[in-house]
Structure 1
Amino acid sequence: MTVTREGRICSFCGEPGGPGTDLPLVGGLGAQVCARCVDDFHEMLHDEDLMAAARSAFPWESMTDAELLATLPMIMASAEQNTAFAHEWVDLLRTRQVSWAEIGRALGVSRQAAWERFARKSGDKGATA
């Protein structure tokens, strides 16, 4: 089981990136960030005026309803990407023979709850220890 960046989107701007694109992605824990967003954040962190503006208000406070609605699919795509990453991570653990009990313990749920959430997607039918 290999976890890749292929088919991922930037969790910040929503642009597709990764292998086969002109937009490199880096990150972890499901969140991915593109080089452009890294550059933008770097510029903001080193410019007092930009930092002051960023601290003063959240961007959504000045967005129109249409802008908020247009952003919602990107938010959902990022959430779905994180959910898919969690499934890939559990698949990786299962290929390493990590038990459902251990996975459940790490998630703070029972073995059965972990299996019910992740086994159907991974195709892993084994509910053993």
Structure 2
Amino acid sequence: MNRCSFCNRSADDVDTLVAGAGVYICNDCVALSADIIKSKPAGPKRTTPVWEGVDDDALLAHLPRIDAIRHQVDDDLRSWVGEARRRGMSWDRIGEALGMRRQSAWERFS
């Protein structure tokens, strides 16, 4: 089942889930993002990694969410590669697009 790549809620738990290239975003995360952009303070851009303000327990609790998103992205990439193959594209072209050799692309996705 597809999940929001930001909050990890399933498609059944949100009103709308918008698909991107390997990622999804729900209507609530879109609204939150819009609010953040609107209220962005003037000044230098944030350069601190997001985990700087996160305690150890919160960091560990977040790891499974990141892993679930990784699996979602991997599944989507497999779908895109499958469509490329269905269209008759060679493993050479697919590997080149992914920055790997033909053999590596074939081993990963065949």
* Residues 91, 103 of structure 2: 8 Å contact kept: yes
Is 1:45–2:28 an aligned residue pair?
Answer: no
Spell out, residue by residue over 1:45-75, the C-alpha distance to the aligned partner (whole angstroms, 9 max, x if none). 11245x87x9485542222211111100000
Counterpart residue number, 2:5: 11
| Partner Cα distance (2:19, 2:26) in 1 | 9
| Partner Cα distance (1:34, 1:26) in 2 | 6
Whichever residue aligns with residue 8 of structure 2, its letter is G
- CA 34–94 in structure 1, closer or farther in 2 if over 3 Å, else same: same
Whichever residue aligns with residue 36 of structure 1, its letter is D
Counterpart residue number, 2:53: 62
Instruction: Please state whether the residue corresponding to 1:78 is helix, strand or coil.
Output: helix
Alignment partner of 2:62 out of 57, 71, 86? 71
- CA 56–99 in structure 1, closer or farther in 2 if over 3 Å, else same: closer
Counterpart residue number, 2:101: 110
Deviation >6 Å, runs of 4+? none
Instruction: Please state whether the residue corresponding to 1:117 is helix, strand or coil.
Output: helix
Q: How many residues align?
A: 109
* Residues 16, 23 of structure 1: 8 Å contact kept: no
Tell me how large the CA RMSD over aligned residues is: 2.2
Counterpart residue number, 1:124: none
For structure 2, list consecutive stretches of 5 or more residues without a partner in the other structure.
Answer: none
Q: Alpha-carbon deviation of 1:44?
A: 1.2
